[in-house]
Structure 1
């Protein structure tokens, strides 16, 4: 590992030069392998020319080759979906680069969230035995909740188990208060129908 200690200004200049050399070398290697086709650029051409460059970019951002591959694959998938709307090859490359950066940011946010997550205290968690002691009606409600779509289930659980207001649920789920209200209404209807059928 390089020593960037000593004078802070000198150390930062050395670090900057080292980064420039390293990334410049990688850029030169990647650029040397790119040959412009003698016809309009296709998505396949772009994939062949830029895939490893984009993977390297993602590795530099997320520091994990497997995750970087996933980020790049998602970026190319998005590019494929939007290919017909792009102006030219430069626009496609810009789209791809932005998609890789945004995908990498998402990965890093998820990592940060996972690192910061503190599981709730489990001492009062319901055991299978306590659920078994619920009345048949309560068991049916718990089972029916499991069949609801994610958002409907979240809204009902936050409202009736978490005792949150519509505003608090909206903030927790990232939707409007109106959406919380309509989702809760639809969820209750779906829950009722499910329980009636079973």
Structure 2
């Protein structure tokens, strides 16, 4: 980087800090002990601006800073001096911002273990009206009844194969299929379950 360009950037940053009101506060006089309230009043907005630059969301930045002050309150008795309190806050804000960014990345990278059961609009559009009504009615059945009917009529499985697949007895397959067909008929007739 050129020397002139570097000094321009530094001047701009100093100017922004002065305009923004984030210039470092004057040191406290040793005669007056610094309180948590003093630190909050003096450093809160500066820390929020730092967090804002790190996490890009005002509400999240506020939360990060609030957590930092809460942590400082919990550890107030363990601090060496007021300068250590400001350092603690700064470190807590940076670490809190990192945690937010890690959680965001984890959320973005998360893939649900099972795809949803919802059918696409394209697949529904290709079905006949009667077929659509059956699919809609099937979705209203209890899970086991729906499984048995789907395996029987869409999977073309025998009662024994359904029993093996679903982990139920052959008799349960028969009774569940019977109840499911009755319920499906009522749903299709508009009478509900």
Which range, TM-score by smaller chain?
0.5 to 0.7
| CA deviation string 1:22-63 (max 9, x = no partner) | 432343332266573661111100000000010011011111
Find the aligned partners of 2:100 and 2:143 in 1 and give their Cα distance.
Answer: 38
Which 4+ stretches in 1 moved above 4 angstroms?
16-19, 32-35
Q: 1:70 to 1:18 in 2, by over 3 A?
A: farther
Q: Distance in 2 between matches of 1:55 and 1:131?
A: 53
1:115 deviates by 1.4
Residue 38 of structure 2 corresponds to residue 25 of structure 1: no
What's the offset of the Cα at 1:130?
Answer: 2.2
The residue aligned with 1:56 is: 49
Partner deviation per Cα, 1:112-140 (whole Å, 9 max, x = no partner): 11111222332579x8822689xxxxxxx
2:39 maps to which of 40, 46, 70: 46
Superposition TM-score, scaled by structure 2 size: 0.53
1:174 aligns to what? Answer: none
Give the total of aligned pairs. 123
Check conservation: 1:79, 1:92, Cα contact below 8 A. yes
Determine the C-alpha separation between the residues in 2 that align with 1:105 and 1:132. 48
Q: Distance in 2 between matches of 1:57 and 1:22?
A: 16
CA RMSD of aligned residues (A): 3.1
Kindly name which structure, 1 or 2, has the bigger radius of gyration based on alpha carbons.
2
What does 1:81-120 correspond to in 2, within 5 Å?
Answer: 81-120=74-113
Tell me if structure 2 keeps the 8 A contact 1:34–1:49: no
